[in-house]
């Protein structure tokens, strides 16, 4: 079953790569069919096999020889692992499916934000009601908890962004980050907010410090926060119950 989940996840990862490549450019994710972004040659079916095709072609286009970003391979692997992880954690039913869709959405948002420093509203705005309803109907989240989580998540991150810019004169977080935390807390409920923000801030600070020391940059360098919010949400997705249980019993 886990092999099946891995294969399905890798196939979904291939589609996620299409979304990551085209959504920031405002292009359709349906047409045209998959093609080389350099020579525009349509890809054959055997050039579109997730993970395997990238390894077999050694990361290069078979037609023009242009190198293909390793991001394509990594997204397919992460999506495959996410499918296995959500299957193990939540089972193969509706709960597991919703969890995997949530995981996949975070993966797309993270990569787009990392590459382009934007979080498209076309993903997060529809995602807020979709995952709010999904959390309430299938994940056992109370409607009041989801609504409070949505309001609290958006309000807190918006205030942080406003005051950070007012104090430093530097834009910290944008509307995409605000919408993203709203989507996350609407799905999990307000109880997830401190946990997600803690892991996002802690891991983001560590990575930022490493980036500064390794690259010799300054604190004024823009580092996207969306991937860290997503990572905090993924940690909560798989371990949130245990984390909350630990703090509630200590």
pLDDT of residue 10: 97
pLDDT of residue 216: 65
Q: pLDDT digits over 222-237, tens only? A: 688 999 999 999 999 9
- Alpha-carbon gap, residue 207 to 209, rounded angstroms: 5
Least confident of 28-32, 131-135, 208-212: 208-212
Residues in the chain: 250
pLDDT category of residue 167 using cuts at 50, 70 and 90: confident
Residue 11 has pLDDT above 90, yes or no: yes
- Round the average pLDDT of the chain to a whole number and report it: 90
Least confident of 27-41, 51-65, 166-180, 213-227: 213-227
pLDDT of residue 34: 83
Q: Show me where the domains of the chain are located.
A: 134-250
Q: Using CA atoms of 197, 199, 204, 209 in order, give the dihedral in degrees to the nearest 10.
A: 130
Residue 38 has pLDDT above 80, yes or no: no
> What percentage of the chain carries pLDDT values higher than 70?
93
pLDDT category of residue 219 using cuts at 50, 70 and 90: low
Contact yes or no for 89/99 (Cβ under 8 A): yes
pLDDT of residue 170: 67
pLDDT of residue 171: 66
Closest by alpha carbon to 128, among 196, 192, 179, 200? 179
pLDDT of residue 218: 59
pTM over 0.85: yes
Q: pLDDT digits over 86-123, tens only? A: 999 999 999 999 999 999 999 999 999 999 999 999 99
How far does CA 139 lie from the centroid of its chain?
Answer: 19
């Amino acid at each position: 079953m886990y092999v099946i989940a891995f294969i399905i996840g890798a196939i979904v990862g291939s589609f996620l790569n299409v979304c990551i490549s085209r959504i920031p450019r405002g292009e359709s994710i349906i047409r045209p069919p998959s093609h080389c972004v350099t020579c525009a040659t349509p890809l054959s079916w055997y050039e579109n096999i997730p993970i395997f095709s990238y390894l077999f072609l050694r990361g290069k286009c078979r037609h023009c020889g242009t190198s293909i970003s390793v991001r394509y391979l990594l997204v397919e692997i992460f999506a495959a692992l996410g499918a296995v992880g959500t299957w193990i954690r939540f089972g193969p039913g509706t709960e597991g499916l919703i969890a995997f869709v949530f995981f996949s959405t975070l993966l797309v948002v993270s990569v787009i934000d990392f590459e382009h420093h934007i979080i498209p509203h076309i993903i997060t705005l529809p995602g807020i009601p979709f995952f709010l309803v999904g959390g309430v109907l299938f994940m056992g989240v109370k409607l009041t908890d989801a609504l409070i989580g949505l309001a609290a998540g958006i309000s807190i991150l918006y205030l942080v962004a406003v005051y950070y810019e007012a104090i430093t004169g530097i834009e910290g977080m944008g509307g995409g980050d605000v919408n993203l935390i709203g989507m996350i807390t609407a799905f999990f409920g307000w109880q997830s907010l401190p946990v997600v923000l803690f892991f996002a801030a802690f891991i983001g600070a560590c990575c930022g410090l490493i980036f500064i020391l390794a690259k010799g940059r300054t604190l004024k360098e823009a580092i996207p926060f969306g991937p860290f919010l997503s990572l905090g949400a993924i940690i909560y997705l798989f371990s949130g119950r245990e984390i909350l249980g630990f703090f509630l019993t200590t």
